[in-house]
């Protein structure tokens, strides 16, 4: 099973936002040293707690500071872009960092109504996602009427960030999938994945591929790991209260804040869903997940306020998943 990292360039309270981008690059360098297979970045527009709105630009910097680890997007939100422009961006990345670039694609709209309006995406058009994927793949494979430059002679692998319907689209098109969020909590997840594998139509010799994305925090003991996972869980819960996703905060300040019963419940449920604990606890949880779903790749989307603890968690996870 391959092991990858997803870094969303999370901002931290009272710190300059550009630090989140340099932190992403530093984490990618560290991931390469540790032997991770792939390093992913994300696309979030005008979200206060996230500094990365342009995966292609950030990946160019990540690629320039690394030499061997695969780099990719999880993902580019295709409704916001013309397929030709995405193809040009990622063909250029592949020219700069040959054979290392992957393209994950999703269809999420903007975080808030003003952002969706600014993106000209006030209404969803889910029926456009599949034909846009097909068009984009033709550009990357060199089979479209328009030739994307520079012509590297290679294609860029595409992945679908999938919901239930996204899995069906990926199966029809013969594309690999990345799953995360609430779908991982589904009681029928194994059956859903088996449906994807059964319905998969190979494209140019492709085969089903499942990447599971989840928060994984490893520390010396369960309590410490749970505290490290708290800033992200707290931010998610606060976002549901205020409609605005905040920067990460120190654990001590979170604990000192006034908590409503509703907020406490949301935080605790989020922590319960995360995989956070000692190496033994995390290993047991991952073994159960792998036995239940048989993924080809695990993508850890871990965030925490303490960067040193985050790097230590990445190292411990790499040791667990050899």
**Can you tell me the mean pLDDT for 87-114?**
92
pLDDT band of residue 231 (cuts 50, 70, 90) is: very high
H or E segment at 35? none
Lowest mean pLDDT among 17-26, 44-53, 78-87: 44-53
Instruction: Indicate whether 114 pLDDT > 90.
Output: no
H or E segment at 288? helix 279-293
Question: How far apart are alpha carbons 103 and 202 in whole angstroms?
Answer: 18
Output 79 or 219, whichever has higher pLDDT. Answer: 219
Instruction: Indicate whether 46 pLDDT > 90.
Output: no
pLDDT tens digit string along 93-104? 999 999 999 999
pLDDT band of residue 322 (cuts 50, 70, 90) is: confident
Residues listed for the chain: 322
pLDDT, averaged across the chain: 94
Domains and CATH numbers, the chain: 2-215+279-320 (3.20.20.30)
- Torsion sign across C-alpha atoms 140, 142, 146, 147: positive
Q: How far is CA 107 from the centre of its chain?
A: 13
Q: Which two tokens stand for residue 185?
A: 């909590």
**Can you tell me the mean pLDDT for 252-273?**
94
Q: Which two tokens stand for residue 170?
A: 């990926």
86 near 103, Cβ under 8 Å? Answer: yes
Instruction: Indicate whether 124 pLDDT > 80.
Output: no
**Can you tell me the mean pLDDT for 51-62?**
96
Distances (CA, A) of 154 to 98, 148, 150, 239, 286: 9, 12, 10, 41, 35
Question: How far apart are alpha carbons 319 and 35 in whole angstroms?
Answer: 10
- Torsion sign across C-alpha atoms 160, 165, 167, 169: negative
**Can you tell me the mean pLDDT for 280-299?**
96
Question: How far apart are alpha carbons 225 and 127 in whole angstroms?
Answer: 41
Q: Which of 49, 37, 31 is nearest to 244 (CA)?
A: 49
Q: What is the pLDDT of residue 112?
A: 77
User: HEC profile for 158-226?
Assistant: EEEECCHHHHHHHHHHCCCEEEEHHHHHCCCHHHHHHHHHHHCCCCCCCCCCEEEEECEEECCCHHHHH
Q: What is the pLDDT of residue 308?
A: 97
Output 308 or 116, whichever has higher pLDDT. Answer: 308
Q: What is the pLDDT of residue 281?
A: 97
pTM attached to this predicted model: 0.94
Question: How far apart are alpha carbons 52 and 54 in whole angstroms?
Answer: 6
Per DSSP, 10 falls in state B
Helix (H, G, I), strand (E, B) or coil at 8: coil
């Amino acid at each position: 099973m391959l092991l990858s990292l997803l870094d969303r360039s999370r901002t931290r309270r009272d710190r300059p936002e550009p630090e989140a981008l340099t932190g992403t690059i530093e984490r990618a360098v560290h991931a390469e040293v540790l032997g991770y297979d792939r390093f992913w970045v994300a696309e979030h527009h005008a979200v206060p707690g996230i500094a990365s709105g342009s995966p292609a630009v950030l990946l160019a910097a990540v690629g320039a500071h690394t030499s061997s680890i695969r780099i990719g997007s999880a993902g580019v939100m295709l409704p916001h872009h013309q397929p030709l422009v995405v193809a040009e961006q990622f063909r250029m990345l592949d020219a700069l960092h040959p054979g290392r670039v992957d393209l994950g694609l999703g269809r999420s709209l903007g975080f808030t109504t003003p952002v969706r309006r600014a993106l000209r995406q006030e209404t969803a058009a889910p029926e456009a996602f599949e034909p846009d994927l097909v068009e984009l793949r033709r550009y990357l494979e060199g089979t479209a009427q328009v030739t994307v430059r520079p012509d590297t002679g290679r294609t860029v692998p595409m992945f679908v960030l999938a919901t239930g319907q996204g899995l069906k689209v990926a199966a029809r098109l013969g594309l690999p999938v990345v799953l995360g969020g609430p779908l991982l909590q589904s009681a029928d997840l194994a059956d859903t994945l088996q449906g994807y594998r059964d319905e998969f139509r190979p494209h140019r010799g492709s085969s089903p591929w499942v990447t599971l994305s989840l928060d994984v925090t490893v520390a010396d003991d369960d309590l410490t790991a749970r505290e490290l996972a708290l800033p992200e869980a707290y931010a998610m819960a606060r976002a549901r209260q205020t409609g605005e996703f905040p920067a990460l905060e120190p654990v001590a300040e979170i604990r000192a804040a006034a908590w409503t019963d509703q907020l406490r419940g949301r935080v605790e449920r989020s922590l319960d869903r995360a995989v956070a604990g000692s190496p033994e606890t995390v290993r047991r949880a991952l073994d159960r997940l792998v036995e239940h779903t048989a993924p080809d790749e695990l993508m850890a989307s871990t965030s925490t306020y303490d960067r040193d603890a985050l790097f230590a968690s990445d190292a411990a996870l790499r040791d667990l998943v050899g």
